[in-house]
Amino acid sequence: MDYLPFTRPSIDEETILGVADVLRSGWLATGPNVAKFESGLSEYLGGRQVKSFTSATGALEVALQLCDIGEGDEVITPAMSFTATPNVIMRVGAKPVFVDVDFTRNLDLDLVEDAITKNTRAIMPVHFAGLACDCDRLYEIAKRHGLRVIEDAAHAIGTEFNGKKIGSFGDLVSFSFHPNKNMTTIEGGALSFADPAESAKLDRLRFHGISKDAEGNMDVDLPGGKYNLSDVAARVGIGQLEKLDSFNEKRRKLVDHYFECWKVDECELPAWGEGHAWHMFAPLIPFDKFGISRGEFVRKMHEKKIGVGIHYPALHLFSLYRGLGYREENFPNAERIGRETVTLPLFPMMETGDVERVCDAVAEVLS
């Protein structure tokens, strides 16, 4: 029986041959394939301006810099996400202000306004596992308090809210194209943004702070980073983008089958929502009730040749954020999710029989 990982990218032969063509062309850094990829992303997102990046983390950091967020500022963000989300806030000198999540594992908007202070400059929500947060309510809160919104949509390429794709509206929206995401550029990301006036500054922040006049004379007026995507990576992204909707449709069908086949009532299955892109399928397992540790569960699933991930521990319990004064019991929902979450296999090359195999294995291990 073959080993079933919890995720695997789907890259076709046409894309592989296309990458070989790029390698033979001699133009490996940012070039015509990056321009084509960004144009395709823009079209996919309804004509929004889109810039590609070497990572979603870089896109988030540049978005914060674009908003002039730095020392002494605060950014509200959920206590349940990957560490990249609050890390970039700290990297620009600001403070991540954690807020607990609700049953969807997205930011609990009922708690956001209590976290706003005179130092708050932005809200950075996460569309967790591909389920959109309530964008209408989020932006209403931000507008009322004069805050920027920087959406961490690393899980949410292809996700919809009220029939509109995440990234086709709103303020600043960052996507990830890491190999475990719904589409990949191997490593990479993108930033969708609304204000054309911010484009030139964004370009300088993305590439060394450099600007050039009509004659090619160069100037540097800010300490930009280097986040430009390569043409090799962009060529992978071009092939992936063409298949993104079919990838996501397959993910939805597999998740439907997970819900049909699940056998352990004591577990809490992920929240379902309209427009969900299903980046991950991550049930919560009350391990104490079953007399087994999560580590033992992962090991036994591995023995059955099934991969399991953990996405994610609660952020405020990491040493870095404890240094900001956070402690156990600050965010009970995030802490419970962090203790009980496991990520089960979900990727487009799977078949329904694979889902049945995983569900049977989970039931056997927990029994």
Report, as residue numbers or ranges, the catalytic residues. 181
Instruction: Retrieve residue 190's tokens.
Output: 């993108």
> What residues contact residue 140 under an 8 Å CB cut-off, 6+ apart?
none
Which amino acid makes up residue 64? L
- Over the range 136-167, which residues count as b (16 or more CB within 10 Å of their CB) and which as e? eebbebbeeeebbbbbbbbbbbbbbbeebbbb
State the sign of the Cα–Cα–Cα–Cα dihedral 275, 278, 284, 290: positive
Look-up of token digits 């988030």 = 60
State the sign of the Cα–Cα–Cα–Cα dihedral 168, 174, 177, 178: negative
Q: How many CA atoms lie within 13 A of 238 on its CB side?
A: 22
Phi, psi of 274 (to 5 degrees): -60, 135
> What residues contact residue 174 under an 8 Å CB cut-off, 6+ apart?
56, 59, 60, 63, 150, 151, 152, 153, 154, 189, 190, 191, 192
